[in-house]
Amino acid sequence: MLVLKVGGNEIDDANFLTGFADAIAKMEETPVVVHGGGKEIADLQLKFGLTPRFVEGLRVTDETSLAIAEMVLSGRVNKRIVAALIAAGADAIGLSGVDRGIVRVEKMQHPAGDLGRVGKVVGVRGEVVRDFIAQKVVPVISPISLGIEGAYNVNADSVACAIASALNADAVVFVTNVAGVMQADQAIASLTARQAESLIKSQVIKGGMIPKVRAALDAVAGGACAARITNLDGLRNGSGTTVMRET
């Protein structure tokens, strides 16, 4: 079983989305798709006169920002992916973590400040996701999830990792616009946690690749058999950088 995580920057690209949907439609096994959409959230926040704020990469989410995040993630972006999948010949359903209580969260406490309505995953109803997969329906899951007080915004990488762990997935694949973790213009085939931390320290892994690698490490630490960072070509042919548990 595969869990695919795709980010908002990639989904904004119509050519990427078409290729992503086509690759999924051609897969023999039905995957789970978890998506982000941060850029569109920020754009809509600005249109409403709000200033996007972040604490260590996590979006501060007040009530108005939560409403915007729900509109973008569970509405516009989610349905765009579902429409692309169906157009490519796959069967798909759009969901959020709120639907059927698929992803349960509690309010995230952060030492650097109050994040507002940002959640930390505490449970996943894996059987609900498995039911769709058994019917060969691709679940497309927005990371808006369910807490005691209602909906919460949750980091999409964290949701992908939690779902992969709950399903004992063979792999969680982070689909990006690069072929993998690059060193000397080539994708590194595999990494352990120790090797990854060393490459972060030496700045071989830097910038936006750091959170992707850390999310992959979290996925394997949480129960996924492996995590892979790749692009569309790598999704099709199985290449990219595989992050593995220490042996």
**Residue 27 buriedness (CB in 10 A; 0-12 / 13-18 / 19+):** middle
Q: What's the N-to-C CA distance of the chain in angstroms?
A: 22
70-129 confidence digits (pLDDT tens): 999 999 999 999 999 999 999 999 999 999 999 999 999 888 788 889 999 999 999 999
Longest distance between any two alpha carbons in the chain, whole Å = 51
Higher pLDDT, 15 or 224: 15
Q: Which residues contact 132 (CB under 8 A, 6 or more apart)?
A: 30, 93, 138, 139
Mean pLDDT of the chain: 91
| Cα separation, 172 vs 125, whole angstroms | 17
179-210 confidence digits (pLDDT tens): 888 988 888 999 888 898 899 888 888 877 88
Instruction: Take residue 102 and report the two structure tokens written for it.
Output: 């698929």
Higher pLDDT, 22 or 110: 22
Give the whole-number percent of the chain exceeding pLDDT 90. 58
**Residue 213 buriedness (CB in 10 A; 0-12 / 13-18 / 19+):** buried
Reported pTM: 0.91
CA 198 to each of CA 168, 219, 232: distance values in angstroms, whole numbers, following the listed order: 28, 19, 27
188 sits in which H/E element? none
124-176 confidence digits (pLDDT tens): 999 999 999 999 999 999 999 999 999 999 989 889 989 998 998 888 999 98
25-68 confidence digits (pLDDT tens): 999 999 999 999 878 898 999 999 998 888 877 788 999 999 99
| Cα separation, 132 vs 135, whole angstroms | 5
| Chain centre distance of CA 247 | 26
| Cα separation, 146 vs 8, whole angstroms | 21
Domains by residue range for the chain, with CATH: 1-25+35-156 (3.40.1160.10), 170-247 (no CATH)
Determine the pLDDT at residue 76.
Answer: 94
Determine the pLDDT at residue 211.
Answer: 76
Determine the pLDDT at residue 247.
Answer: 65
Q: DSSP label at 178?
A: S
Tokens 């959230």 belong to residue: 41
Q: What does the chain come to in residues?
A: 247
